[in-house]
């Protein structure tokens, strides 16, 4: 499983940086919609398998903390959702879960 926490991402560059880090994308990753879709499809193409054994088991990606970004920047949030949906359509062994919560980090103003 790949955990992608977007909590605190405030712009497209920050969003792409978090994706590149979490997904261990190569240095030449173009940091745009098409490059991300291609990189996600390449994960399980038999040549660029990340992580080891993902072709057999599948690769779940859990995206957490996206709601604040998607709310603040609705067009970019929708584009991000579309990129993940396209990648899942192109790569059947890939699963992407977009959590409903705002962040994986506990909020200081809530008990517990």
Q: What is the pLDDT of residues 13-59, one digit of tens each?
A: 888 899 888 888 878 888 888 888 888 877 666 556 466 666 667 78
Positive or negative: CA dihedral 70, 83, 86, 50: negative
Tell me, what's the pLDDT at 110? Answer: 39
pLDDT at 112 over 50: no
Of 25, 109, 27, 106, give the one whose Cα is nearest residue 64.
106
Mean pLDDT, all residues of the chain: 80
pLDDT of residue 85: 92
Residues 91, 41: contact at Cβ < 8 Å? yes
pTM value is 0.76
Dihedral through CA 86, CA 54, CA 50, CA 106, nearest 10? 80
H-helix or E-strand containing 37? helix 33-42
């Amino acid at each position: 499983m790949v955990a992608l926490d977007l909590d605190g991402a405030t712009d497209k560059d920050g969003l792409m940086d978090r994706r590149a880090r979490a997904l261990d994308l190569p240095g030449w990753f173009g940091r745009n919609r098409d490059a991300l879709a291609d990189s996600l499809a390449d994960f399980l193409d038999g040549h660029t398998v990340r992580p080891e054994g993902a072709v057999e088991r599948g690769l779940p990606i859990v995206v957490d903390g996206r709601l604040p970004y998607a709310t603040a920047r609705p067009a970019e949030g929708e584009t991000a959702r579309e990129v993940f949906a396209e990648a899942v359509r192109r790569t059947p062994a890939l699963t992407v879960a977009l959590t409903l919560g705002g962040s994986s980090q506990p909020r200081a103003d809530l008990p517990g």
